[in-house]
Chains A and B, each alone.
Chain A
């Protein structure tokens, strides 16, 4: 899996920005160990935005970015764009790089793919799960549009999904099942979560102490669209011993916490800077007050849900 960094300008994706910020909020809740002792593993691409965020917000210095850059020129470009010496750039396909990483150290892993569901995503997650320390977090991001103007291509894509996830497709599944975006997203969430749990159960088979056995607990499930419809699902990997600590983290108190099939939909408010100022000074009371009724109710609701995670736009390059 590789991020096609040439196709998307990551800076112009407000929902993505909100998602990153929310994930950092989630990481702050983690209590298994001081968060700055974690390692962060991701696909930094050329912008390394998430890497800068986890470093600046959480003090994490153990940072590993995986890049499937094969040519010398590409690699040079990534190295030149590396903003911090803390970031350890690992070149190669995730299937080859992940098995070589040490996940016995508590980790925050974000597999931020920009393609549709594939078995290789599940295999990458299984690779991590096989050795992931209890208290680790794994998230996966993928696109969920199952549309194609060409009927034949659509059918091929359908056959591919059936072949790659035979355990999750039954005889009644049809092309139209996946064209329903909700069902398609749910299919991905269910398949990936289930395969992650299977990987943990297999890896922990035979452990003499049942308290050492690990489970995956889904803690977030975002749906949003910055152009293409995307989902991100995140799980904590926690053994029985650490289960009480997970409860102490109180991640479920986060308003975007999701442990099931109901996604938190990231909808950015379409509002002006003036409107933002007016609403922000009246927080938390903005949904219905008379003075704000000139701002559409829908935008006010979106602002209320997302106000802490709005990007700042300006013609200024971040340093």
Chain B
């Protein structure tokens, strides 16, 4: 289909102006940075989610993009609808946008130059496996071998099967098993991984807010808008656990503290491999009543704990060890992972509950005495991944808090007030008030 007809060396009327593939590859990968290349691929996955569930209010719950990056390989896997065979054949791998291509609404990546640039930038060998609603197929490319033939520009489709696949069966897996050596060096570095995680967090906040789960090297990327208060009064809990379970490893990240007062959003949020399976939970499932310690499980409409926020991110390569039920919609208390998690939730929540009780008790004080509330209002919120490690939630009272004070206010006849001013030898009304109180107190209270 796509073949150059080589110039006939004996035809003296033709000049060979055809490109070499190597030149093309060189040109299109020259100006792209590795992180941009990867972000382009993530964009493609998210476009898949948008095709699958269109609309501004669409919820991407259940959809995921899993990225693996290290010095040996690169992989991006998603379940966002697959690449339609037609798009793969006609557009996705074509150099330049072909006529007739209809872009995805509000797409960020768009199969155009992005995917090819990214792949050629990074790979010596890559393979694509995709299941779309009507077909499953693969594409395997050895870049050098392909580039050595300047005549044939096609990629071969392999393992093509027609079928009828449900939405949950669709997927795309893009795997680079041989990296360009220069790229491998970059991908190896931990700094690169952290920067990539940050970039994705910022760039795809909206998709993550709509419950699209993005993981990098098996760890869920936490959306930047999940935040906890951090300041002079409070230090949020931020800690990690790693538990071997069977042959796999369960990684847990906990973040616990306080946020804005909002009864509907208060409680525990549990994520398994990035999927949010419990939201604003205040039930015994998350140990809430045990952590409250008063014994009485606080109903949601009670405002006292409306500032409580707890986030648990559990990640495992082997998803079967995660504490979710078979439908992945709730916790399964029978799992080992749950038994590990449950006491940690209680332990983490207790100091926050204590703080919220202390905060609640301040309501009995005059506004100027509410040092915790004031301090908390002045504390900024910080996104979870920026919180410094802290083994527990800590709160401190500001050093100075005197005894509770009251104001007294009353009206009396000006003539009488002036008489009393003169009698007490004071010039101003505030002084008169203070002196007369002291006079009364000394005579009526102190002697007793």
Give 1 or 0 for each of B261-294: 1 = CB within 8 Å of chain A CB: 0000000000000000000000000000111011
Contacts of A71 in B (CB 8 A): 397, 399, 401
Residue of A nearest to B349 (CB): A95
Smallest beta-carbon distance A140→chain B, Å: 15
* A152 in the interface (beta carbon within 8 A): no
CA distance A41 to B3 in the complex (A): 79
Contacts of A206 in B (CB 8 A): 243-246, 336-337, 339-340
Stretch at the interface among A28-36, A105-113, A117-125: A117-125
Smallest beta-carbon distance A143→chain B, Å: 17
A72 touches B399 (CB 8 A): yes
* B299 in the interface (beta carbon within 8 A): no
Q: How many cross-chain pairs have Cβ atoms below 8 Å apart between A and B?
A: 83
CA distance A72 to B401 in the complex (A): 9
B350 touches A120 (CB 8 A): yes
A96 touches B336 (CB 8 A): no
Contacts of A119 in B (CB 8 A): 290, 293, 295
Contacts of A201 in B (CB 8 A): 339
Smallest beta-carbon distance A191→chain B, Å: 12
Smallest beta-carbon distance B369→chain A, Å: 14
Contacts of A95 in B (CB 8 A): 347, 350-351, 354, 392
B393 touches A202 (CB 8 A): no
Contacts of A123 in B (CB 8 A): 290-291, 293, 346-347, 350
A164 touches B343 (CB 8 A): no
Residue of B nearest to A97 (CB): B392
A202 touches B342 (CB 8 A): yes
* B16 in the interface (beta carbon within 8 A): no
A residues contacting the other copy or chain, number (CB 8 A) = 31
Q: Report which of B290, B294, B391 forms a contact with A99, defined as CB distance below 8 A.
A: B391
* A282 in the interface (beta carbon within 8 A): no
Smallest beta-carbon distance B324→chain A, Å: 16
Contacts of B293 in A (CB 8 A): 118-120, 123, 164
A72 touches B339 (CB 8 A): no
* A203 in the interface (beta carbon within 8 A): yes
* B296 in the interface (beta carbon within 8 A): yes
Q: Report which of A97, A120, A127, A202 forms a contact with B339, defined as CB distance below 8 A.
A: A202
B391 touches A70 (CB 8 A): no
* A205 in the interface (beta carbon within 8 A): yes
B392 touches A100 (CB 8 A): yes
Contacts of B343 in A (CB 8 A): 126, 130, 199, 202-203
CA distance A292 to B350 in the complex (A): 56
* A318 in the interface (beta carbon within 8 A): no
* A163 in the interface (beta carbon within 8 A): yes
Smallest beta-carbon distance A249→chain B, Å: 28
B394 touches A205 (CB 8 A): no
B340 touches A96 (CB 8 A): no
- Most central of B296, B346, B350, B394 by chain A CB within 10 Å: B350
Residue of A nearest to B290 (CB): A119
CA distance A100 to B348 in the complex (A): 11
Interface members, chain B 109-164 (any A CB < 8 Å): none
* A160 in the interface (beta carbon within 8 A): yes
Q: Please, could you name 14 A-B residue pairs with CB atoms under 8 Å apart, sorted by A?
A: A72-B399, A93-B351, A95-B354, A95-B392, A96-B350, A96-B394, A97-B392, A120-B293, A123-B293, A130-B343, A160-B295, A163-B289, A163-B294, A206-B340
In order of increasing CB-CB distance, the 4 nearest A-B pairs are A163-B295, A164-B295, A96-B351, A206-B336
Residues on B close to A: CB < 8 A? 243-246, 289-291, 293-296, 336-337, 339-340, 342-344, 346-348, 350-351, 354, 391-397, 399-401
Extra contacts, 18 of them, besides A92-B394, A130-B344, A202-B343 (Cβ < 8 A), are A72-B399, A93-B354, A95-B351, A95-B392, A96-B394, A99-B347, A99-B392, A118-B293, A123-B347, A130-B343, A161-B295, A162-B295, A163-B295, A199-B343, A202-B339, A206-B244, A206-B337, A207-B244
